[in-house]
Homo-oligomer: A and B are copies of this chain.
Amino acid sequence: MSAALDIARAFEAAWQGKDFDRARSYLAEDVVLDSPFGRETDAARVIEQYAAFTQAVTGPARELAAFGDGENALIMSDIPTVLAPHQVSAVHYTVRDGKITSETLVYDATEIRAQAAPTA
């Protein structure tokens, strides 16, 4: 078992369950999130991004693969959203002293950008 993977899964379960206070408790205050929308370095704003995303989620996440070691976890998931019935994402977490200190999150943001773009 991987302690880092346990923390990462607990974080994902918390935000997927819309328990954002609990989700935030797993993040270091100076967590660094790298995503298709750039870098975020504040735990509160990271949680805001997850909260916004959950409004688009239409069903339970499915874990496609998940691994971890002492300080790293890597999880790929399939999450149904209003824009994509199978939104695949992957996150690499680093965990120190029981807190997530960094996340590298990847997904195809094409549809999200198209929705966010002003119409011509």
In this complex, the interface size class of chain A, counting residues with CB under 8 Å from chain B, is: 20 to 34
Determine chain A's interface SS by DSSP, over half rule.
strand
Q: How far is the CA of A65 from the CA of B75 in the complex (A)?
A: 10
* Complex contact A110–B107 (CB within 8 A): no
Task: Check B108 against A109 for contact (C-beta < 8 Å).
Answer: yes
- In the assembled complex, the CB of A112 is this many whole angstroms from the nearest CB of chain B, namely 9
Q: Does A7 contact B (CB under 8 A)?
A: no
Bound form: Cα–Cα A108–B113 in Å: 11
The answer, yes or no, to whether A53 is at the interface (CB within 8 Å) is no
Docked CA distance A106–B109 (Å): 10
Q: Point out residues on A near B: beta carbons under 8 Å.
A: 34, 36, 64-69, 72, 74, 76, 88-90, 92, 104, 106-110, 113
